[in-house]
Amino acid sequence: MYYVNLNSSTYGPYSEQQVRQMVASGQVTASTLVFAQGGQPQWIPASKLPNLFKAPTLTGMPVPNPVAASLPITQGNMESTVWQGRPSAWTLLDRFLLPVSAGVVVAGFGVVAWLQLPRSLTRVAAEVAVLVALLFLLWLSWKWVQIMTVKWTLTTERLCWERGVFSRTIQNLELYRVKDIILRKPFLMRLLRRGYLDLITSDKTERREHQSLGAIANPGDLHIVLRKHVERQRQMKGVREVDYWHA
């Protein structure tokens, strides 16, 4: 479904077929701002949605009149962005604490080998330690890049994941599908005043039954906001399943 902005007023929702008819009649142009439900959480020019400029299918339906077809909607009824964030770089240390510790041990071994072993053995041991440490640093750098390219956007209706280094993938989780929210604060994250929000959902697409946001600052505040909008969407969708919230 789509909303259109005409003469500083918002009208909708319209089906794709109706918007195509409005394009054909000249009511909607390439520069008209359009909001697509289920797409990007922002208003964009209609030219960025090429599917709207395909020839409309002849259905015998009249071209919709924006004023007569629907009343302007208020901003409170529109999907809006509530929060945006990215994983903290501390996530790398928390998630890969064991490999980081192993890397420190290997580096220490290289130093000891250089100082204590005979010259012939020292060279071989040092070269092996340097090679292992280099591979480890490359692997750790790649993981850091992957984590830091993740972007989360929470709207009043859904949670969007955007990730990918060279190509980007955007996933949408409708909030009414969230069954439970678990707030976790591991010891290291407590020292850094950060934490994780684990979401248990009914969305089985691409194994999204469990999603995690972290490590984020002030996770308790986001937990309250997220829970409020999840409850609102569940009521609007008529979801009556009893869930339990953990904090």
Q: pLDDT digit string (tens) for 106-118?
A: 666 666 666 666 6
Segments forming the whole domain that contains residue 154: 81-87+149-237
Q: Are residues 55 and 103 in the same domain?
A: no
User: What is the domain count for the chain?
Assistant: 3
**Distance in angstroms (rounded) separating the CA atoms of residues 28 and 65:** 11
Biggest alpha carbon–alpha carbon distance for the chain: 91
Instruction: Identify the band that residue 214 occupies on the pLDDT scale cut at 50, 70 and 90.
Output: confident
Domain membership flag for residue 244: no
Q: Tell me the CA distances in angstroms from 194 to 23, 84, 182, one per residue in order.
A: 49, 16, 14
Return the closest-CA partner of residue 91 out of 181, 219, 177: 219
Instruction: Summarize the confidence of residues 28-33 as an average pLDDT.
Output: 88
Q: Three-class SS of residue 244?
A: coil
pLDDT of residue 40: 64
Domain membership flag for residue 221: yes
Alpha-helix residue ranges (DSSP H) falling in 149-198: 187-191
**Distance in angstroms (rounded) separating the CA atoms of residues 66 and 245:** 43
Domain membership flag for residue 245: no
**Distance in angstroms (rounded) separating the CA atoms of residues 11 and 217:** 38
* 59-63, 129-133, 138-142, 227-231: the lowest-pLDDT one: 59-63
Which domain-ending residue is among 77, 106, 122?
A: 77
